[in-house]
Chains A and B, each alone.
Chain A
């Protein structure tokens, strides 16, 4: 009759302990690699949803905006002091209808609407329509807004 001695039993249990540890790690690794392969096959990695363009308040000037506040851009975004605007800038240096940003051909275009104090893009006065790229800073009165997508 074959009988397990205590020593053999302990050895088996020792092996079982380490085996459990590595079986667990193996199972997790196997699952992770399967998951990656499935993602690769479906051709889509995890990525942000539709890019949402927005303006970030860098300097609120005298307005009630908060630094760091995000203002989402609409296909047509009007900026100015009056209540009709998409983004209302309640600062005395801002004209009632100051500037507008429109989306065309996948780009955002900024133009001044004949304001008294003008609009600047990266510290340069805006004449006509100029394209906006992420990181650009729009200056209206004392307000500084950074473009981000």
Chain B
């Protein structure tokens, strides 16, 4: 248990946290200068807000969790700072709101660390979390709204604030999968049913897991939230592999995925349109392929070094401040900037998996690996979609996209990851 005594300074974190604050200051100043505006007091407010939020989290970690990972927070903050710069560039009216969300997110991160009585507390309520996640998604069927005409009612709204339950579902599912797989991992690695040359996994023990996955996938697919479906399935595969270490499970699940994708392609016109758009966006460049074509054009226009902040025309790309953020970054900061963003995700995933390996408890390992997979897979799904490497499915770019529920969910996720990293480490063999 963390305790307040002889706080060990977290110098590395403190030094690294200077980068996102400087980045935000430099980015906002560039925008002001390029626009020819007088220096705006909201700029200083934003920089101050970020600095205060980060410093508060840093202090709390130093006091209560001195052994927590020191790179996760700075790396995530770099993405948050870049997000604030890009939102200020693309949607100046939303800039203060995004700054506010980053502040609220940091508070949620702190809240997660303060409230959570220990990582193992989460596993006691595994079915509660699973039920809660499903209930939230189910409620969008009844109360769902579509505030930005995306064609899918994925949001819940109260008091002018919109909230996307699938963002919460992913975290709750990680907790459920981690608890369930940890309970049954030994049984899952044991093949008990043999059918001819195939050894099937012990099906009775897999059923609750598969049922849960099927329910979650069914719900998000019924809502046409294909990005979330892809993310949840990828998450399931990653966690199953981490728990069992069996490549046959992954191969089997991929085969099921191919069959399922084929079925969806036949059943839903949305899927068919997405695949056709992916194969040839230029054929429908003015209708269904419009977003993808505009995104690719923006990226091409940026070249290696980019046009520079405010010198490009990313406003032609639909949803550029949310799902298509990388198109704007590619156009104005160039390949150099986009690769830097990919580098930040690599750092986050690397630290996350390191935390997973180092922790002493198998539930915590699965939890950290799952949370890390969420960030990594989500980034891959949307980056791949924007770059026309895979069919485009809409998910937010973790920590970069504008949006309250996305920012909030990702900060809670980071809080959980930091909590795992502060758990007792696995003993290192000295002799």
* Residues in chain A within 8 A of chain B (CB atoms): 6, 9-11, 13-14, 16-18, 20-25, 27-28, 31-32, 44, 46-49, 56, 58, 67-68, 70, 146, 148
Contacts and interface: CB of A to CB of B under 8 A. Distances in A.
A27 B18 CA distance: 12
A87 to B, nearest CB: 16
A9 B33 contact: yes
Contacts of A22: 340, 343
A21 B23 contact: yes
B186 A17 contact: no
A31 B87 CA distance: 31
B336 A18 contact: yes
A58 B30 contact: no
A79 to B, nearest CB: 18
Nearest to B360: A49
A25 B82 CA distance: 14
11 contacts: A6-B36, A10-B308, A13-B26, A13-B29, A13-B33, A17-B30, A25-B344, A27-B15, A47-B428, A48-B426, A148-B186
Contact of B343 (A10, A25, A47): A25
Contacts of B184: 67-68
Interface of B: 12, 15-16, 19-20, 22-23, 26-27, 29-30, 33-34, 36, 71, 74-75, 78, 82, 85, 183-184, 186-187, 190, 192, 205, 308-309, 333, 336-337, 340, 343-344, 347, 350, 357-358, 360, 426-430
Q: Is the interface of A mostly helix, strand, loop or mixed?
A: helix
B75 A20 contact: no
Contacts of A21: 23, 78, 82, 337, 340, 343-344
Q: Is the interface of B mostly helix, strand, loop or mixed?
A: helix
A9 B187 CA distance: 64
A129 to B, nearest CB: 25
A68 B82 CA distance: 46
Contacts of A56: 186-187
Contacts of B75: 24, 28
Contacts of B350: 32
A20 B186 contact: no
A148 B343 CA distance: 39
A20 B23 contact: yes
